[in-house]
Amino acid sequence: MPGFERFGDQERQEVQDVLDNGVLMRYGFDGMRNGHWKAKSLEEALQQTFNVKHAQLVSSGTAAVSVALAAAGVGAGDEVIMPTFTFVASFEAITMLGAIPVLVDIDDTLTLDPKAVEAAITPKTKAVMVVQMCGSMGDMNALKTVCDKHNLLLVEDACQAIGGTYNGKALGSIGDLGCFSFDFVKTVTCGEGGAVITNTTEYYTHADHYSDHGHDHVGNDRGAETHPFLGYNFRISELHAAVGLAQIKRLSEFLAVQKKNYTTLRTALADIPEVTFRTVPEGGEESYAFLNFFLPDLESARKASKGFKEAGVDVCFHYYDNNWHYVRKWDHLKDVKSLYPVSPAIKEGLKTLSNKTFTQSDHYIARNISALIKLSWTEEEVAARAAKMVEVIKASI
Ligand SMILES: *Cc1c(COP(=O)(O)O)cnc(C)c1O
């Protein structure tokens, strides 16, 4: 997955352009730029690559999710439905706005179970956030149907699945708003960065202003611009955008490598009758950033996870025992351990979480191993890894 593995001359050249003209900021300083607008160019590239009307770069994937929600008017006291299995960024982005994260079970797609989503809807629900975890996606048709029926926003966190598709559409472009992360370990990296994509011009305009202190970006005198509403600073720098501009042009190259390495591993593991794979919804194609598989039970998954480490097989994650990606270990959220006072609405909303059980999610995450697919492996390395993985799994079941 990490695009940094293939960092090279293209990235160096784009960064050098920025250093040569010295304009590290994405807005203003038109005269000094010598025609280089790296953030703007990357936004255009994202629009083309994912076939959407608008793209707004921001400083991180977490910022992208928060800006997306804010742009669509989600705020204090609103409930946002999100999965139990995701990165902590999901609830951070929600609580930052004063909104309430409502966690619901995942299914064998490893993201939102549409039935669990529908059951969690209340009069306060404003949005459903599907997190396209580990290179694949939720049942987007079913989720869209639920959202349309209840008049809810559908926000897609596609941070881990850039390049995946559903019925020919890019992940991130299916919901009302989609989010990407370009942090250092993502398939396309800027070092740090993120983006919101949308076909709704109003949301885009909001995201554009909100992420830059409310600047309306009219004319070429920043000081004279107006501020139609309150904003924050979630800007990306021109240096970061330059790296991303080189990387986005290489996305199809990266995806092809991911698919090749994924296929080698999957073919080897498929020979073990006890191994099953995550469900990819009909019409979906993964980005192949991870190979996700299930072992028969928690014990065998723990044994395999330990075995992989001992055998030197790295980047295989057993998220059940991981502090960052699964609700089981999110005690700081359950206990609302905040540095500063949190709104009563959030406290109240999170109260039920402290003793809530998610048996259905446990059923999948306890048995799941997510094997990251690297871009730098040689063919021999992938073959050797596949053989080792098969050996470890066979000894664990
Ligand atoms: C990485 C990631 C984020 C956050 O992105 P940052 O750029 O690190 O803030 C959000 N959601 C998911 C699913 C991620 O994997």
In this structure, the number of other CB atoms found within 10 A of the CB of residue 33 comes to 16
> Helices 9-21 and 238-248 meet at what angle, rounded to 10?
150
The minimum-distance atom of ligand 1 relative to the CA of 193 is: 7
Phi, psi (rounded to 5 degrees) for 196 = -110, 130
Question: Ligand 1 mean position to 181 CA, how many Å?
Answer: 5
Pocket of ligand 1 (CB under 6 A): 60-62, 86-87, 89-90, 131, 157, 159-160, 181, 183, 194
Report pLDDT for 264. 98
- Pairing assessment for the beta strands 194-198 and 177-181 based on DSSP bridges: antiparallel
Question: Ligand 1 mean position to 229 CA, how many Å?
Answer: 27
Question: Ligand 1 mean position to 41 CA, how many Å?
Answer: 22
The minimum-distance atom of ligand 1 relative to the CA of 89 is: 10
The minimum-distance atom of ligand 1 relative to the CA of 60 is: 7
If one residue of 84, 86, 157 were mutated to test the ligand 1 pocket, choosing by the most ligand atoms within 8 A of its CB, it would be 157
Report pLDDT for 394. 98
Report pLDDT for 81. 98
Enumerate residue ranges in the chain where pLDDT < 50.
Answer: none
3-state SS, residue 393: helix
pTM of the shown model: 0.98
- What is the chain's mean pLDDT, rounded? 97
Report pLDDT for 282. 98
The whole-angstrom separation of Cα 297 and Cα 275 is 11
Report pLDDT for 375. 97
Report pLDDT for 1. 87
Amino acid at 332: H
The minimum-distance atom of ligand 1 relative to the CA of 185 is: 1
